[in-house]
Amino acid sequence: MSRLQVVSGKGGTGKTTVAAALALALATEGKRTLLVEVEGRQGIAQLFETEALPYEERKIAVSSGGGEVHALAIDAERALLDYLQMFYKLGSAGRALKKIGAIDFATTIAPGVRDVLLTGKACEAVRRRTKQGAYVYDYVVMDAPPTGRITRFLNVNDEVAGLAKFGPIYNQAQAVMRVLKSPETAVHLVTLLEEMPVQETADGVAELRAADLRVGRVIVNMVRPQLLDETAVRSAAHGRRKEIAAALTAAGIGGARTLVGPLLEQASDHARRVALEREQRAALERLGLPSYELPLLSEGVDLAGLYRLSKELRAQNGGHDGRDGYDDRPSAGQGTGS
């Protein structure tokens, strides 16, 4: 079972919303989930309608059955200070380095250092245990960088490990990669049923697999309902004016002939969208990954919307039955839902 759930996706697909909903869905029946933000946008705080997250873990929501969602906005600068204190005991010296700008230099200029610190902090939360030996968090959900950067973000520790052959940096990089490339971690990709996001998802899956990083699920977000049945879609696609006018007249609607044009145009647009979405679903199915679909919330995503999406995720996982979270392993014949 993957305890670190990494959520990525093309910009505009709603990956932060999906990460938040997933954290809520996993935090059921007393489970504790840590939702981690690494991009410094405070998107999690906005979704949960709370104040900006500090560099500390804070409880931000309660899920069904008393489960808890905690959140952390990881700051690379603060993470580096923690790192210097942990491995080099440079508490006051580290603060002095910050004052002269050395910390900022290291986290913005030094290749890979920033990503090592961010992923390292998340992996530390995955491994952390209580004095009694239990995990502090049952799951850690990371709102990660977009698809185009996710493989490099997660795999940069390998590059650092290749540069340092021994010492604390080497050991840190190795420890992080043991988590990221183990069954403890799964990378989920969020997409829309549109050509560009689907293509970027396919490219992202290929890159992750090439880097030996485990892909979990494809999560199709903002799925709009199909308003017409297949017969109506075919009629709209072929512009059958006479049949539509006759149906309107039979229903007692006056001025059927003047209504046919606008109605047919809208129906035709809908038919084209349905056809496009069918093509994109087929493209996603060819990836051979299980998936979830989340509906478009016409009223927008607020806190109530997040809970609704988390309920959808639990339902598509077969409902909560006391099992320890989500099975993110691909299974035979499991493709996108309709």
Confirm whether 43 is domain-assigned.
yes
What global pTM score does this model have?
A: 0.81
Give residue 205's pLDDT.
Answer: 98
- Whole-angstrom distance, CA of residue 118 vs CA of residue 80: 9
What pLDDT digit, counting tens, does each position of 115-148 carry? 877 888 899 999 999 999 999 999 999 999 999 9
CA distance from start to end of the chain = 26
Please list the pLDDT of the chain residue by residue as tens digits (338 residues).
699 999 999 999 999 999 999 999 999 888 999 999 998 888 999 999 999 988 889 999 998 788 999 999 988 777 766 766 655 554 554 454 455 444 454 545 455 677 877 888 899 999 999 999 999 999 999 999 999 999 999 987 666 665 556 666 677 778 888 999 999 999 999 999 999 999 999 999 999 999 999 999 999 999 988 665 666 556 555 556 666 666 666 666 666 566 666 666 766 777 778 889 999 999 999 999 999 999 999 888 999 999 999 999 999 987 543 344 455 544 333 333 33
Where are any strands of DSSP class E within the chain? 4-9, 32-37, 58-62, 68-73, 139-143, 185-191, 215-223, 291-295
Domains in the chain, number = 1
Residue 132 main-chain phi, psi, to 5 deg: -85, -5
Q: In Å, how far are 22, 60, 277, 337 from 220, measured between CA atoms?
A: 13, 26, 11, 9
Confirm whether 321 is domain-assigned.
no
Confirm whether 292 is domain-assigned.
yes
Confirm whether 246 is domain-assigned.
no
Cross-strand partners of 231: none
- Whole-angstrom distance, CA of residue 176 vs CA of residue 119: 7
Location of structure tokens 């493989």: 151
Residue 291 main-chain phi, psi, to 5 deg: -150, 165
Give residue 321's pLDDT.
Answer: 39
Confirm whether 252 is domain-assigned.
no
What pLDDT digit, counting tens, does each position of 19-28 carry? 999 999 999 8
Instruction: Please report, for the domain that includes residue 115, its CATH number.
Output: 3.40.50.300
DSSP state of 135: B
How many beta carbons lie within 10 A of that of residue 296, not counting itself? 12
> What is the residue range of 221's domain?
4-225+288-316
Cross-strand partners of 69: 33, 61
- Whole-angstrom distance, CA of residue 337 vs CA of residue 54: 38
Confirm whether 26 is domain-assigned.
yes
Confirm whether 98 is domain-assigned.
yes
How many beta carbons lie within 10 A of that of residue 302, not counting itself? 13
Confirm whether 244 is domain-assigned.
no
